[in-house]
Amino acid sequence: MEPDGLVAHHVTLTVGDLGASSAWYQKALGLEVVAEREGAGWRRVLLKRSAGLMIGLTEHDATASDDTFHETRVGLDHVSFACAGLASLEAWRERFEGLGVSHSPIAETPVAHVLVFRDPDGIQLEFFAPKGT
């Protein structure tokens, strides 16, 4: 029997300002806070849309205040969200333009259409719509 899994339940990102990042993810992506946690030296907010992937945002006391994300360092390169098709990407682009969220043009790759954007800490995020959808 093969083990199950490999379907993402959540991703947790370290952020510099939990309040600002939480507000940005709620506004830009339409996520809602579903839980808040705190431990010795950290605070976390869990965000989610009605269905799907949950995103955790964690602020650590040990993170330098001037630290920013860069995909060329070991660790995370980017997070990609699946979209049903090109029309969905266009709807996200329109939402971002209405909210003033900076983003790339919709790009065509050999396998998909992609819309790239960054959160307040510079973490690269993208919407990915496979070609033919």
Q: pLDDT tens for residues 72-115?
A: 988 999 999 999 999 999 999 999 999 999 999 999 999 999 99
Q: Which domain holds residue 53?
A: 8-61
Confidence (pTM): 0.90
Q: How many residues does the chain have?
A: 133
Q: How many domains does the chain have?
A: 2
Sheet strands side by side (includes 32-39): 10-14, 54-60, 42-48, 32-39
- Three-state SS string over 102-124 comes to CECCCEECCCEEEEEEECCCCCE
Answer yes or no: do 88 and 128 share one domain: yes
Residue 93 located in a structural domain: yes
Nearest to 18, CA basis, from 45, 41, 46: 45
Residue found by looking up tokens 């995020």 in the block: 125
Answer yes or no: do 124 and 83 share one domain: yes
What is the structure's pLDDT at 52? 81
**CATH number of the domain encompassing residue 31:** 3.10.180.10
Q: Are 45 and 81 in contact (CB under 8 A)?
A: no
